[in-house]
Amino acid sequence: MRRDLCLKAIARHVTDADIVLPVYSTAFDWLDVRPHPLNYLSHGAMGLASSHALGLALGRPDKRVIVLDGDGSLLMNIGTLVTTAEAAPKNLFHFVCENGTYEANGGHPIPGRGKVSFAGLARSAGYESVHEFSDLKIFEQQAGAILAEQGPVFINLKVEPAGPQERDYSRLHGAHVRQAFRDALKAS
For residues 87 and 79, give the distance between their C-alpha atoms in angstroms, rounded to a whole number.
13
Report yes or no: 33 and 4 within 8 Å, Cβ to Cβ: yes
CB atoms within 10 A of CB 9: 20
Best CA proximity match to 63, nearest among 47, 83, 40, 79: 40
pTM equals 0.90
> Within the chain, where are the H helices?
3-11, 24-33, 49-59, 71-75, 80-87, 118-125, 136-146, 170-173, 175-187
CA separation (Å) from 90 to 32, 57, 85, 94, 143? 28, 8, 10, 12, 17
> What's the pLDDT score for residue 165?
64
The domains found in the chain, sorted by start residue, are 3-179 (3.40.50.970)
pLDDT the model gives residue 2? 94
Cα-atom radius of gyration of the chain, to the nearest Å? 15
Cβ–Cβ < 8 Å for 13, 144: yes
Residue 47 pLDDT: 77
Q: Tell which residue, 85, 34, 87, 79, has the closest CA to residue 61.
A: 87
Report which DSSP code applies to 151: S
pLDDT of the residue at 93: 98
pLDDT in tens, the chain (188 residues): 999 999 999 999 999 999 999 987 888 889 999 999 999 985 566 778 899 999 999 999 999 999 999 888 898 899 999 999 999 999 999 999 998 676 666 666 767 778 899 999 999 999 999 999 999 999 999 999 999 999 999 999 999 887 666 666 666 667 777 788 888 888 88
